[in-house]
Chain A
């Protein structure tokens, strides 16, 4: 296999005309945009607009029908793709946390580095403890997911993804299942991550958060990007009536 020649000046993620349909239901109808290294982009839009599917296509959880997705120069829409190699570089956090309920918080974070990256246990544990501190969950190392609040679980899930030292983080409506009072602690964790220069693609319904954190906001509806722009510009003078209607409903 030819090693993809990718340099940090090129887009980290390059989407070109991405199509995906589930049966007759077209979820992505030709999505095209770039994400540069260190960028934080937020994808907003009504339910069923294909936002979550788009994220799942990037780490090959969902195969695409047509088009091209390059992650660090590597084509994702390729039969011969080494999916595991791709997923080692791309972290993902889910709406429902999806922690492993039979393992403690610390073990949840340690499993993948030990068994997938084959790192040495002592080193992994030290890093996992550091990550627990980073997401402000010191002292919860031996708690099981069932003993943690939604916000705490989601922060463990973020730490679990970070333990793989990914180049890109995907956040799929990570606060949508949380109680309002715990939303903030999760958003703070993501913001700190973004400030450290992590490349993030965030699907969210938190408009205030998107405005504050994003370098670029993409508004999608029915599988296509309607319009995009830096937050200040996007929220102040969006042009498309669908964007206006959506914003008037959520703001």
Chain B
């Protein structure tokens, strides 16, 4: 100690390995939004120039149709919410099946997960639309099954499979010592899962779960392909009723902007949560 007095001791400063990624890739950043706005303005300008001075303003046309597009967008959001809720509840069930001690339950859950996780979402959507009836007869009562409801179920299937994998991965990421300690304290397996393992999983699962929600939201316009009147379908209707080709690029960029405004806060919150959970 005395020898070190006055001398500068070497200190290991925080460093970053050159190969390590600097920040999470693939997430929305504000600059993406700015780019989108610039692209939209450019598209409007170009469209206006193409149309000539006599044509009505593109901005005014878009604003005129905004209430209708907003209705479609609201349906997108509603479908994504519902699909997420259904998919999460079912997915937790299937995820617990994946870690079951009973081999048949585990095998069945595995099959369900693999089927729905590795199928294209559009294929699942078509299956749901074509295989499900347009109305259900339950105990004499007839319940209509509208397109959007069938599409929501179709979207919830891949969500379910992805949530199941999230649950399985999260449970496996809990250190083995937690199981051992619970067992040594005479907890049953059910108690261990309920009181020790799953509460710790919730924290780990939240960021990827929110990420999945953002992916689901941007996937809901897929339902336009199967005829649901959501924002993409309505944008197409607007284009055909206006009959102006110069609207094509601006109106879809406009829609893209809506999705960005909706998803960006989710991406922000996800990143914040990830950072918070990493520290402890």
Does the CB pair B178–A116 fall under 8 Å? no
- Determine if B180 is an interface residue (Cβ-Cβ < 8 Å): yes
- Determine if B11 is an interface residue (Cβ-Cβ < 8 Å): no
| Neighbouring A residues of B187 by C-beta, 8 Å | 112, 115-116
Interface residues of A in 104-139 (CB under 8 A from B): 111-112, 115-116
Stretch from A22-30, A92-100, A196-204 at the B interface: A92-100
Interface residues of B in 254-271 (CB under 8 A from A): none
Does the CB pair B200–A112 fall under 8 Å? no
Nearest B residue to A90 via CB reads B184
- Determine if A242 is an interface residue (Cβ-Cβ < 8 Å): no
Q: In the complex, how many residue pairs between chain A and chain B have their CB atoms under 8 Å apart?
A: 57
Stretch from B96-104, B147-155, B191-199 at the A interface: B191-199
A164 to B183, CA, bound (A): 13
CB distance from A172 to the nearest CB of B (A): 10
Nearest A residue to B174 via CB reads A101
Interface residues of B in 170-188 (CB under 8 A from A): 175, 177-178, 180-181, 183-188
- Determine if B203 is an interface residue (Cβ-Cβ < 8 Å): yes
Could you tell me the dominant secondary structure of chain B's interface residues?
helix
Q: Which of the four size classes fits the interface of chain A?
A: 20 to 34
CB distance from A166 to the nearest CB of B (A): 10
Nearest A residue to B196 via CB reads A100
CB distance from A76 to the nearest CB of B (A): 14
- Determine if A16 is an interface residue (Cβ-Cβ < 8 Å): no
A91 to B180, CA, bound (A): 12
Does the CB pair A164–B185 fall under 8 Å? yes
| Neighbouring A residues of B5 by C-beta, 8 Å | none
Contact among A83, A85, A96, A116 with B177 in the assembled complex (CB-CB below 8 Å): A96
A194 to B195, CA, bound (A): 31
Does the CB pair B186–A98 fall under 8 Å? no
A96 to B188, CA, bound (A): 21
Does the CB pair A87–B185 fall under 8 Å? yes
CB distance from A67 to the nearest CB of B (A): 21
Does the CB pair B203–A102 fall under 8 Å? yes
A90 to B183, CA, bound (A): 11
A146-165: CB near B (< 8 Å → 1, else 0) gives 10000000000100110010
- Determine if A68 is an interface residue (Cβ-Cβ < 8 Å): no
CB distance from B273 to the nearest CB of A (A): 15
**Chain B residues in the interface with A (C-beta under 8 A):** 175, 177-178, 180-181, 183-188, 191, 195-196, 199-200, 203, 280
**Chain A residues in the interface with B (C-beta under 8 A):** 59, 61, 83-85, 87-88, 90-92, 94, 96, 98-102, 111-112, 115-116, 146, 157, 160-161, 164
